[in-house]
A and B are shown apart, each in its own frame.
Chain A
């Protein structure tokens, strides 16, 4: 058990975030409009800096902090690094976009910073209360971000919708947590694990189902996905880009930790629930995506389906599943960020392009962007040799190892429907007749993001994938060996 001083030292990255967030909020209030871009860029820098700091401070052995409320282990480091990086890139992308639209505010960056802080707590929480605090911290920031375009009716509506449904899901989550506490007598994961080993009562099963329902809402898995398409469509596009990456990583890692750590002994009980949610998400996600003409709504449904695949890995309940899950989430994050960078880059003189059919002619006016987007779309569709294929591959492997052959088959079949959705966009980009107006040239931020994510997906994947695999395996083994 560490003393207070070393506890605080281990939380240095979080503390830096809190202090710099508060300071920048004050600075923003006094410095006026001119400082807004600088403040946002500073936040990008701070997030990147803290991400590096997190990496530099990998503990030799898992550290239990604050009497078991938080744990700093390989999984937490992985999650924090991924969430911080995704937040930084998301903010950078939004910065490039909002600056041209003159809608950038100090609060925007600070909210993303606080959301990132919430995610850092989420991925390291080993206590039901710490977990709840992390989730709420992140969610409150996200509600405000969804409504951040105050002049838009749709943005306000999406923020409100997200808030009301989010509050409901938090209620479910709290109810589940209180049931678990009631039947196990402990909020700490260790205590819960000990109680389960002693006697796994039905009350705990009910508790975990409620907890899972609340968490499924956060990762927008069906049947708790209703909010996703509306919020994705209504929120400002850079906010959507942020929504679909960083919070998903954090929430998925949180689910993995809670199910694989104290509740692994009850695998048989929660496995069916996770499988049901997973299957439903793939079906709803891809079938829903087929109907969409708006590219943001399509991405919303696509993210629902992608969470279905992530849940396959969780359902396997093995170290291989966890490692596959981490690989999948990283690849998903990179691809999704790249696709959103493309969406943000596609402007015509009269404004943003949001309908799929408007993408026609992209290959003629912006060939480089079209190639990048094509690679990314083939990646989410899971076509080899693009890295996205290997994400699905590791997940199917984990499912088959866990004797979930039929789930792997189901995932494979669903991915064909998914491929149809994405290839249709590719077809529009390359073969449909273009309208009169040309696209406005791409800004630098977007070009860099598209190029780097596409490069990571195709040629660089040869080096990137083995490295990612090694890391994910170390992380997975640390959770399973450490108990």
Chain B
């Protein structure tokens, strides 16, 4: 059988190398290659989707030995948790390439970095070897560093360096945890499937490994109080970078939380479940309150990410604490769906903030106003995405958050106070819409143009999917559910 997973992962890298050799190619050509390659990658992931996942374990596994004597190999594959994220990744990258076709500053380097980042992201979600996972996890960091430092806004150098050092410090505990799991496994291997089947550590060692992994993923997710890199990085990143950062890279953290912490140290996670849950609740509430206080619209959306990712953490912690398999599956279904929904919704929001900033050169909500009258399409699209973000029924976040809260009520009713976050996000989005799109249109913005074709093409699939997931989530939930009901821990 054709190794579709590997082809899909490395197609962007091949594209990046090709672009590197074509230094003479004009800007349009470079962007066309970027769009073409990421389009092919999207088709590749759709093929993966069509092949589907099996009820238990991993499907479509591809394996090549690398260093057999230490049990390291190239292993990739998908299950119902990673496949939705893979699809989300390839879609968001494809749309980002369409959106970024306007980039005039060093287009070669931009496209090369984005393609490298795409390989890293797809690799992180599909890796079944811990070393491979770690490698992809870190490569994404390097690409994103260059993305922010090279194409960001005013204070980009500082933000990029802070992002790099912060997340590098965050990811080293994971390396130590991986080493611990490796030394605990018998025979020694880096095969993540073995680690999931027979969790290698127990007792104190498992708890230490869990703490290390939780730290890593908490930085990535990010969870209060290690979230401080996020607003800085988001505000300074270019729109394309923000979309990928929020839409794809934050999921590394939540995906790792499920794949590593929950599946490889389940007993320790159960013991620490209450604490993780508390962190999730605090993150959800803190994110909402912090977003309420922002004037910069990009910062505002960045903080709502903290809020939404907090719900994912709550869901995973509930899954660890639940004793009834049905409730556990519900909590995990909600968490994974929440990751996908957040990617779609926040991706759309960051695209639109990018479009606003391209037109107005500001992110300050106080300086904007009445834009709905001049740019109705952009305005209504933003309102739709904002309503989705605040969890309106019928839109993408609702089915996810609903399941998370349902499971929470059954297992740890006290944690339901996190639902206050929804009320606050509702308030802050209404305030933001009011400031930016309603009210009187100032003279300054009267000549503003509505969406171009390129921008409309970027947004349309996301808005369509936001509604599709909201109205009929089963088409994606079935795939997730197939894996989550079969999880044994």
A contacts, CB < 8 Å to B: 378, 383-385, 389, 393, 396-397, 400-401, 405, 408-409, 412-413, 415-416, 419-420, 423-424, 427, 430-431, 462, 465-466, 469-470, 473
**B168 touches which one: A385, A409, A416, A466 (CB < 8 A)?**
A416
**A401 touches which one: B169, B183, B208 (CB < 8 A)?**
B183
Question: Which residues of chain B are within 8 angstroms of A400 by Cβ–Cβ distance?
Answer: 176, 179-180, 183
Q: Report whether A384 and B134 are in contact in the complex, using a CB–CB cutoff of 8 Å.
A: yes
**A430 touches which one: B146, B176, B180 (CB < 8 A)?**
B146
Question: Which residues of chain A are within 8 angstroms of B165 by Cβ–Cβ distance?
Answer: 416, 419-420, 423
Complex CA–CA separation, A413 to B168 (angstroms): 9
Complex CA–CA separation, A466 to B74 (angstroms): 13
Given A397-B179, A408-B176, A423:B70 Cβ within 8 A: no
Q: Report whether B179 and A423 are in contact in the complex, using a CB–CB cutoff of 8 Å.
A: no
A-B contact pairs, 12 of them (CB 8 A): A383-B141, A384-B138, A389-B138, A396-B176, A396-B179, A400-B179, A400-B183, A405-B176, A408-B179, A416-B165, A427-B161, A466-B67
Given contacts A383-B138, A384-B139, 9 further A-B contacts (CB under 8 A): A393-B179, A400-B176, A400-B183, A412-B176, A419-B168, A420-B161, A423-B164, A462-B66, A470-B69
Complex CA–CA separation, A390 to B342 (angstroms): 35
Q: Does B135 contact A (CB under 8 A)?
A: yes
Q: Report whether A412 and B164 are in contact in the complex, using a CB–CB cutoff of 8 Å.
A: no
**Could you tell me the distance in whole angstroms from the C-beta of A404 to the nearest C-beta in chain B?**
12
Complex CA–CA separation, A202 to B392 (angstroms): 76
Q: Report whether A413 and B183 are in contact in the complex, using a CB–CB cutoff of 8 Å.
A: no
Q: Report whether A383 and B183 are in contact in the complex, using a CB–CB cutoff of 8 Å.
A: no
Complex CA–CA separation, A430 to B70 (angstroms): 37
Q: Does B97 contact A (CB under 8 A)?
A: no
Question: Which residues of chain A are within 8 angstroms of B67 by Cβ–Cβ distance?
Answer: 465-466, 469
Q: Does B150 contact A (CB under 8 A)?
A: yes
Q: Which of A384, A397, A423, A430 has the most CB of B within 10 A?
A: A384
Q: Report whether A431 and B179 are in contact in the complex, using a CB–CB cutoff of 8 Å.
A: no
Given A383-B142, A470-B69, A412:B172 Cβ within 8 A: yes
Complex CA–CA separation, A385 to B146 (angstroms): 16
Q: Does B185 contact A (CB under 8 A)?
A: no
Question: Which residues of chain B are within 8 angstroms of A462 by Cβ–Cβ distance?
Answer: 66
Question: Which residues of chain B are within 8 angstroms of A396 by Cβ–Cβ distance?
Answer: 175-176, 179
Given A400-B176, A419-B168, A385:B70 Cβ within 8 A: no
Quick one: which of B136-159 are within 8 Å of A by CB?
138-139, 141-142, 145-146, 149-150, 157
Judged by DSSP, the binding face of A is helix
Q: Does B110 contact A (CB under 8 A)?
A: no
Question: Which residues of chain A are within 8 angstroms of B66 by Cβ–Cβ distance?
Answer: 462, 466
Q: Does B173 contact A (CB under 8 A)?
A: yes
Q: Does B182 contact A (CB under 8 A)?
A: yes
Given A408-B176, A413-B172, A416-B165, A397:B182 Cβ within 8 A: yes
Q: Report whether A431 and B172 are in contact in the complex, using a CB–CB cutoff of 8 Å.
A: no
Q: Closest 10 A-B residue pairs measured CB to CB?
A: A412-B172, A384-B135, A385-B135, A416-B169, A384-B138, A466-B67, A400-B179, A397-B179, A420-B165, A416-B168
Question: Which residues of chain B are within 8 angstroms of A413 by Cβ–Cβ distance?
Answer: 169, 172
Judged by DSSP, the binding face of B is helix
**Could you tell me the distance in whole angstroms from the C-beta of A449 to the nearest C-beta in chain B?**
22
**B69 touches which one: A409, A415, A469 (CB < 8 A)?**
A469
Complex CA–CA separation, A397 to B180 (angstroms): 8
Complex CA–CA separation, A396 to B139 (angstroms): 20
Q: Report whether A385 and B139 are in contact in the complex, using a CB–CB cutoff of 8 Å.
A: yes
Interface size on B, residues (CB 8 A): 31
Question: Which residues of chain B are within 8 angstroms of A465 by Cβ–Cβ distance?
Answer: 67
**Could you tell me the distance in whole angstroms from the C-beta of B435 to the nearest C-beta in chain A?**
34
Fill in one digit per residue for B164-201: 1 if any A CB lies within 8 Å of its CB, else 0.
11001100110110011011000000000000000000
Q: Which of B165, B176, B180, B183 has the most CB of A within 10 A?
A: B176
**Could you tell me the distance in whole angstroms from the C-beta of B332 to the nearest C-beta in chain A?**
29
Q: Report whether B69 and A412 are in contact in the complex, using a CB–CB cutoff of 8 Å.
A: no
- Which residue of chain A is the closest to B72 with respect to CB atoms? A466
Complex CA–CA separation, A415 to B161 (angstroms): 15
Question: Which residues of chain B are within 8 angstroms of A409 by Cβ–Cβ distance?
Answer: 176
**Could you tell me the distance in whole angstroms from the C-beta of B440 to the nearest C-beta in chain A?**
41
Complex CA–CA separation, A385 to B10 (angstroms): 14
Given A401-B183, A427-B161, A416:B172 Cβ within 8 A: yes
**Could you tell me the distance in whole angstroms from the C-beta of A70 to the nearest C-beta in chain B?**
31
Complex CA–CA separation, A217 to B296 (angstroms): 55
Q: Report whether A431 and B149 are in contact in the complex, using a CB–CB cutoff of 8 Å.
A: yes
Question: Which residues of chain A are within 8 angstroms of B182 by Cβ–Cβ distance?
Answer: 397
Complex CA–CA separation, A408 to B180 (angstroms): 11
**Could you tell me the distance in whole angstroms from the C-beta of A382 to the nearest C-beta in chain B?**
9
Complex CA–CA separation, A424 to B180 (angstroms): 31
Complex CA–CA separation, A385 to B149 (angstroms): 21
Complex CA–CA separation, A207 to B333 (angstroms): 65
Q: Report whether A430 and B172 are in contact in the complex, using a CB–CB cutoff of 8 Å.
A: no
Complex CA–CA separation, A430 to B168 (angstroms): 20
Complex CA–CA separation, A427 to B142 (angstroms): 12
Q: Report whether B175 and A423 are in contact in the complex, using a CB–CB cutoff of 8 Å.
A: no
Complex CA–CA separation, A378 to B142 (angstroms): 9
Question: Which residues of chain A are within 8 angstroms of B208 by Cβ–Cβ distance?
Answer: 405
- Which residue of chain B is the closest to A367 with respect to CB atoms? B23
Question: Which residues of chain A are within 8 angstroms of B161 by Cβ–Cβ distance?
Answer: 420, 423-424, 427
**A427 touches which one: B149, B169, B183 (CB < 8 A)?**
B149
Complex CA–CA separation, A385 to B150 (angstroms): 22
Q: Report whether A423 and B135 are in contact in the complex, using a CB–CB cutoff of 8 Å.
A: no
Question: Which residues of chain A are within 8 angstroms of B139 by Cβ–Cβ distance?
Answer: 384-385
Question: Which residues of chain B are within 8 angstroms of A423 by Cβ–Cβ distance?
Answer: 145, 161, 164-165
Question: Which residues of chain A are within 8 angstroms of B150 by Cβ–Cβ distance?
Answer: 430-431
- Which residue of chain B is the closest to A408 with respect to CB atoms? B176
Q: Which of A385, A405, A424, A462 has the most CB of B within 10 A?
A: A385
Question: Which residues of chain B are within 8 angstroms of A419 by Cβ–Cβ distance?
Answer: 164-165, 168
Q: Which of B69, B145, B157, B168 has the most CB of A within 10 A?
A: B168
Question: Which residues of chain A are within 8 angstroms of B179 by Cβ–Cβ distance?
Answer: 393, 396-397, 400, 408
Question: Which residues of chain B are within 8 angstroms of A405 by Cβ–Cβ distance?
Answer: 176, 208
Question: Which residues of chain B are within 8 angstroms of A469 by Cβ–Cβ distance?
Answer: 67, 69-70
Question: Which residues of chain B are within 8 angstroms of A389 by Cβ–Cβ distance?
Answer: 135, 138
- Which residue of chain B is the closest to A385 with respect to CB atoms? B135
Complex CA–CA separation, A384 to B139 (angstroms): 7
Question: Which residues of chain B are within 8 angstroms of A378 by Cβ–Cβ distance?
Answer: 142
**Could you tell me the distance in whole angstroms from the C-beta of A462 to the nearest C-beta in chain B?**
7
Complex CA–CA separation, A462 to B135 (angstroms): 13
Complex CA–CA separation, A389 to B150 (angstroms): 25
- Which residue of chain B is the closest to A399 with respect to CB atoms? B179
- Which residue of chain A is the closest to B182 with respect to CB atoms? A397
Q: Which of B67, B149, B157, B175 has the most CB of A within 10 A?
A: B175
Question: Which residues of chain A are within 8 angstroms of B169 by Cβ–Cβ distance?
Answer: 413, 416
**Could you tell me the distance in whole angstroms from the C-beta of A269 to the nearest C-beta in chain B?**
26
- Which residue of chain A is the closest to B67 with respect to CB atoms? A466
- Which residue of chain B is the closest to A398 with respect to CB atoms? B179
Q: Which of B161, B172, B173 has the most CB of A within 10 A?
A: B172
Question: Which residues of chain A are within 8 angstroms of B141 by Cβ–Cβ distance?
Answer: 383
Question: Which residues of chain A are within 8 angstroms of B176 by Cβ–Cβ distance?
Answer: 396, 400, 405, 408-409, 412
Complex CA–CA separation, A469 to B169 (angstroms): 27
- Which residue of chain A is the closest to B205 with respect to CB atoms? A405
**Could you tell me the distance in whole angstroms from the C-beta of A483 to the nearest C-beta in chain B?**
23
Complex CA–CA separation, A424 to B161 (angstroms): 8
Complex CA–CA separation, A400 to B182 (angstroms): 11
Complex CA–CA separation, A408 to B173 (angstroms): 10
Complex CA–CA separation, A430 to B164 (angstroms): 15
Complex CA–CA separation, A413 to B175 (angstroms): 12
Q: Which of B135, B142, B149, B183 has the most CB of A within 10 A?
A: B142
**Could you tell me the distance in whole angstroms from the C-beta of A367 to the nearest C-beta in chain B?**
9
**Could you tell me the distance in whole angstroms from the C-beta of A356 to the nearest C-beta in chain B?**
15
- Which residue of chain A is the closest to B146 with respect to CB atoms? A430
Complex CA–CA separation, A431 to B168 (angstroms): 20
Complex CA–CA separation, A473 to B70 (angstroms): 11
Fill in one digit per residue for B345-385: 1 if any A CB lies within 8 Å of its CB, else 0.
00000000000000000000000000000000000000000
